[in-house]
Amino acid sequence: MSPLISFIIKKLVQYIPMMFAVIIITFILVNMAPGDPTFILVGEVGDEEFVRAARARLGLDKPLHERFLIYVSNVLKGDLGYSYLRSEPVAKLIIDRIPATLLLVLTAMFFSALVGIIIGTIAAAKRGVLDISLSTFSLVGISIPYFWLGQIILVIFAVKLGLFPLGGMVTVGRNYQGIDHILDVIYHLVLPVMTLAIFNLAYTTKITRGSVLEALTQDYIVTARSKGLPESKVIFKHALRNALIPVVTYTGFNTGVLLIGAILTETIFAWPGMGSLLYDSIRLRDYPVILGVFIYGSIIIIIANLIVDILYGLLDPRIRVR
C-alpha cells in the first residue's frame, strides 16, 4: 500500500468519531427545537386522533432516545429516510441539489483564492499607498455580512441596472442546449458567486499579505536576492510558495463557512442548491432533510480538509505524507 493511500485511510478513520458527533449533536438540536412538523402537515385540524395518527406515521410518537437509535441504525445502512413534506428519499433530494451547491461554492472558492493570492502578494511587495488601499479593501470586505451584501448586489445589478437575472440557475422558458446552456448558467452564476466570494477574497488577501511579508524576512529570501535573482522571481517562486501554506489551510477549513454562506446566498438568489433546500426544510420543520443536509455537508468539509492535508506535502517539502 502506498504512503498516500495509507495516509488517506488513517485520516478517514480519524474522521469517523467526528461524523458520529455531528449526527448526535444535530439530531438532538433539531428534535429539541420548538415547533412540531405534525401541525405543519395536518394544519389546524383540531382532531387529536388524526394528529396522533400523523405523529405515529412519522415516527414522532416514540421517545427521543429510541428515535435516535433507529435513525443511526438507518444511517449506517445508507438510509437517510424520507422527507416529511416531499415524500421523496432524503438522499435523492440532496444529491439532486449537490451539483448546484458545489458549482457555486467551488467557483467562489477558486475565484477568491486566485484573486486574493494575487492581490495579497502585490500588497506585500508594493508597500505604500497601494498596500494601504488593498488592506482597507480587505477590512471592508471582511466586515460585510452575506445577507446584506447579496441584497445590495441584487438590487443594484439586477433590479436597477438589469445587467443580470434576479435569480435561478437557468432562464425560465428557455431550453438551452450545449454551450448556450453553459453560458446561461454562468450568466446566472455571476451575482451569487460575487456575493459568496467577496468575504473570502478579502480574507485571503489579508492572510496572503501577512504570510508573504513574513516570508520575505526569512534567510532564504536574503540568499536568493544576494544571488541576483529578479525580485519577481524571489517573491512569486520563493516567498509565495512557502506563504501559501496558511492560505491553503484557510481555504480548506473555510469550506464550512462557504457552505453556511451558501444557505443565505442561495436563498437570496433562488439558487437550487443544498442551502435553499436546508432553508426551506428548517422553515417547514422537515427533520429528515435537515439532518441529511448536515451529514452531507460534513462529508464535503471532511473531503476538503483531506485535500488540504495532501496539498501540504506538495507545497512544502518539509511536510511529507507518511
The tens digit of pLDDT for each residue in 111-166 reads: 888 888 888 888 887 777 777 777 777 777 777 887 888 889 999 999 998 888 88
Delimit the CATH 1.10.3720.10 region(s) of the chain.
Answer: 93-315
- Mention the CATH class of domain 93-315: mainly alpha
Tell me: the pLDDT tens digits for 58-111?
Answer: 777 788 888 888 888 888 888 888 888 777 899 899 999 999 998 998 899 888
Nearest-Å Rg of the Cα atoms of the chain is 24
pLDDT at 239 over 70: yes
The number of residues in the chain equals 322
* Torsion sign, CA atoms 258, 260, 263, 269: negative
Question: Mind listing the pLDDT tens digit for each residue in 189-199?
Answer: 999 999 988 88
pLDDT at 2: 67
In whole angstroms, give the CA distance from residue 259 to residue 288: 19
CA neighbours closer than 13 Å in the CB half-sphere of residue 72: 15
Q: Which residue in 16, 292, 243, 228 sits closest to 120, CA to CA?
A: 243
CA 52, 53, 59, 63 dihedral sign is: positive
Instruction: pLDDT band for 276, please (50, 70, 90 cuts).
Output: confident
Residue (of 208, 231, 249, 202) closest to 120 by Cα position: 208
